[in-house]
Amino acid sequence: MIYILVNSGMSIAFICFVIGYLVRKRDVNRHRLFMMLGVGFTLLAAIVLVVAIHGYYGGDMARAGFVPVVGKEIVLAHRLIALIATVLMFLMVWTGATRRRALHIQLHRAFVPLYAIVYLSGLLIFTGSQP
């Protein structure tokens, strides 16, 4: 169940980010709305993930419903890229909110591919199991 919640939240976030990106030049208000929805769903899914794994299952991913189908090194790489993408996401929010457009545009060139890698790798390197 937690696996489905996290993947659903991340999928909704990804869709919001795609919509926000597509409307960025035509409608800045819709861009902001969809990007903030994407941030919100990402954070909500991440909180559910971390609380489930560390709060309820003592750090055991498999018992929490996330069974890696790859080696520990790949899972670690996924986590590190996710951490970098999260920091960039917060910087994107800050630069967008403070109207630092030039920096915002530069940051998105790193954030977009990193977020896509984290989202897709999360779908591919874990499978759900019943805790």
Helix (H) or strand (E) holding 51: none
Is the torsion defined by CA of 8, 14, 18, 21 positive or negative? Answer: positive
User: What's the domain count of the chain?
Assistant: 1
The pTM of the whole model exceeds 0.85:
yes
Higher pLDDT: 63 or 14? It is 14
Residue range 111-125: average pLDDT? 97
Q: What is the pLDDT of residue 130?
A: 61
The one-letter amino acid code at 78 reads H
Backbone angles phi, psi at 50, to 5 degrees: -65, -45
Domain residue limits at 84:
2-128
Nearest to 13 by CA among 48, 46, 39, 50: 39
Per residue in 84-98, pLDDT (tens digit) is 999 999 999 999 999
Per residue in 9-38, pLDDT (tens digit) is 999 999 999 999 999 999 999 999 999 999
pLDDT grade for 1, boundaries at 50, 70 and 90: confident
The one-letter amino acid code at 44 reads L
